[in-house]
């Protein structure tokens, strides 16, 4: 059987991304036009600004992905695109581009869920999709999601825990804002934490022993705010570094603590980290420290942790393998900002 080349398009938030992936694993090219500098000025994503930038970037990024892969449109077998969740005005740009390519080239369109894409980013760069041994337990930690998901077989997502308020990424972003560390907060906190003492402040490990697999991070953000307010005008760089390190340690302990408890309850073969926060080096390190006997996988390339299109083309291949006929009829799907992450799309 010939390898299947899927061109993936991702524009759910502030990255315009296009990638070409073969058989769900082999990344031929992956191009990301980041808007970080643009949104750093406003301290967060302004949807209209993001959408305008996607309009400017989408065609050059498609061209670049083909060029980098030494391919043209006739080498592509299907178009995959993020259907949701995300910002509607951003999703529409990628979706329109995908639909246009699909109609004009007479190729199937495969609309996929962004969070499912994050989960399947761990399959990228393997030799085959069959290399992963189910059942798999995935901690999905991004700006909007903080979930523990059990996959007993491909694409069968069972949600076993989620955040009751903020996601970990959101907590990183809000805490960075409180500390004046800029946007995006995750990498900024991580950098400040390198020179800080992770035991300087005992922030609350909320819900760590709650007996379920849910999370809560809004109290932690408040605890950081109260600590900062206490210092009034005496907040120097060392204190900022110490708060950042203590905050990061707290988030990682809660995430890994719950993950470990879930592995005690569910008999899984592999444990994966996915989503932007999985780029955090302390989180990865703690996973190795606390569960040395488990088979882990997390995308070794940081560019696969945060938003990218390779993961979109990757998960699309999984859907295609599960039901090869379903997508030629799928031109009726629409971008959906609230798309449920774990609904089965087939
Ligand atoms: O998955 P992602 O790129 O976008 C969403 O789907 O939300 O995740 C973005 C989130 C942001 O909150 C960002 O601060 C966080 O991931 N993040 C990190 C790191 N890199 C990105 N958090 C902690 N440490 C990092 N190194
Ligand atoms: Zn994402």
Residues 131 and 122 sit within 8 Å (Cβ to Cβ)? no
pTM: 0.95
103, 33 contact by CB (below 8 A): no
Ligand 1 centre distance from Cα of residue 117 (Å): 15
Q: Say how many C-beta atoms besides its own lie within 10 A of residue 276's C-beta.
A: 25
Q: Quote the pLDDT of residue 40.
A: 83
Closest residue CA from atom 22 of ligand 1: 186
**pLDDT grade, residue 346 (50/70/90)?**
very low
Q: What is the pLDDT of residues 216-273, one digit of tens each?
A: 999 999 999 999 999 888 899 999 999 999 999 999 999 999 999 999 999 999 999 9
Q: Which residues are bridge partners to 73 per DSSP?
A: none
Query: Does 173 contact ligand 1 (Cβ within 6 A)?
Result: yes
End-to-end CA distance of the chain: 23
Mean pLDDT over all residues of the chain?
93
Helical pair 281-290 and 237-265, crossing angle rounded to 10 deg: 40
Ligand 1 pocket, 172 CB below 6 A?
Answer: yes
In this structure, how many other beta carbons lie within 10 angstroms of the beta carbon of residue 261?
A: 18
Distance of CA 164 to the CA centre of its chain: 19
Q: Is the CB of 307 under 6 A from ligand 1?
A: yes
Q: In terms of Cα–Cα distance, which of 107, 108, 109, 106 is closest to 95?
A: 109
């Amino acid at each position: 059987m010939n390898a299947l080349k899927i061109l993936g398009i991702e524009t759910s938030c502030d990255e315009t991304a296009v990638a070409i992936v073969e058989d769900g694993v082999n990344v031929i090219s992956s191009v990301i036009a980041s808007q970080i500098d643009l949104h750093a000025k406003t301290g967060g994503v302004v949807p209209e600004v993001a959408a305008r930038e996607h309009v400017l970037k989408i065609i050059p990024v498609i061209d670049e992905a083909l060029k980098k892969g030494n391919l043209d449109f006739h080498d592509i077998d299907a178009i995959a695109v993020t259907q949701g969740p995300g910002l509607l005005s951003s999703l529409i740009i990628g979706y329109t581009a995908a639909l246009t390519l699909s109609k004009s080239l007479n190729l199937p369109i495969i609309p996929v869920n962004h969070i499912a894409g994050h989960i399947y980013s761990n399959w990228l760069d393997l030799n085959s999709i069959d290399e992963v041994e189910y059942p798999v337990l995935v901690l999905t930690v991004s700006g909007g999601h903080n979930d523990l998901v059990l996959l007993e077989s491909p694409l069968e997502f069972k949600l076993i825990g989620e955040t009751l308020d903020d996601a970990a990424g959101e907590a990183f972003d809000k805490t960075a804002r409180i500390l004046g560390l800029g946007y995006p907060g995750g990498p900024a906190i991580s950098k400040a934490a390198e020179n800080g003492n992770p035991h300087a402040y005992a922030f609350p490990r909320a819900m760590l022993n709650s007996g379920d697999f849910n999370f809560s991070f809004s109290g932690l953000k408040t605890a950081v705010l109260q600590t900062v307010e206490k210092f009034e005008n005496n907040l120097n760089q060392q204190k900022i570094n110490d708060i950042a390190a203590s905050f990061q340690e707290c988030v990682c302990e809660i995430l890994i603590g719950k993950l470990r408890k879930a592995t005690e309850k569910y008999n899984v073969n592999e444990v994966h980290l996915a989503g932007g926060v999985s780029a955090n080096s302390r989180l990865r390190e703690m996973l190795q420290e606390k569960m040395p006997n488990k088979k882990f996988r997390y995308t070794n390339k940081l560019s696969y942790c945060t938003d990218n299109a390779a993961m979109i083309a990757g998960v699309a291949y999984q859907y295609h393998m599960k039901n090869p006929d379903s997508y030629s009829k799928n031109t009726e799907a629409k971008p959906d900002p609230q798309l449920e992450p774990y609904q089965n799309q087939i």
